Amino acid sequence: MSPAYHIATDDGLITLQAGGELDLVEIRRLVESVLAAEDYDPELPLLIDLRDLRVSLEPEPTGEVSAYIIEHFRGRRGSMAVVVDGEMNRKLTAAIYWLACAVGNAEVFDDYDQALKWLIRREFAGTAATG
């Protein structure tokens, strides 16, 4: 799967998918394109699907990409659910978990449906009861 994102302002959700063999430059470009999108809204919840991602953390300077992600996603109002899979190497899984913790307002899941349910409860449960 090639990296892609979809911003559904009517549904109130941003989805981002990154799978296959990617390097950190491609990951940063994907994040940059999401942030530069005309309809990007940091208030919208973000569902990040990394289940099939395979990326080498070497020899790229991972600190630069991590710092960029933290700088641009820390403090967003919308929650972030990140989905990984059990086949992902431990180093990459640990890096993703660390980034989720550093950014805040994010949770890592190994099940897509659980991630989606978490976002719905966190972001939409209150509006459904009051709206």
pLDDT in tens, 9-56: 988 999 999 988 888 888 888 999 999 999 999 999 999 999 988 886
What is the 3-state composition of the chain as percent helix, strand, coil, each rounded to the nearest 5?
Answer: 45, 20, 35
Any idea which architecture 4-130 has in CATH? 2-Layer Sandwich (3.30)
The residue extents of the domains of the chain are 4-130
Q: What is the pLDDT of residue 88?
A: 87
Q: What is the pLDDT of residue 43?
A: 93
Residue 35 or residue 60, greater confidence = 35
pLDDT at 3 over 90: no
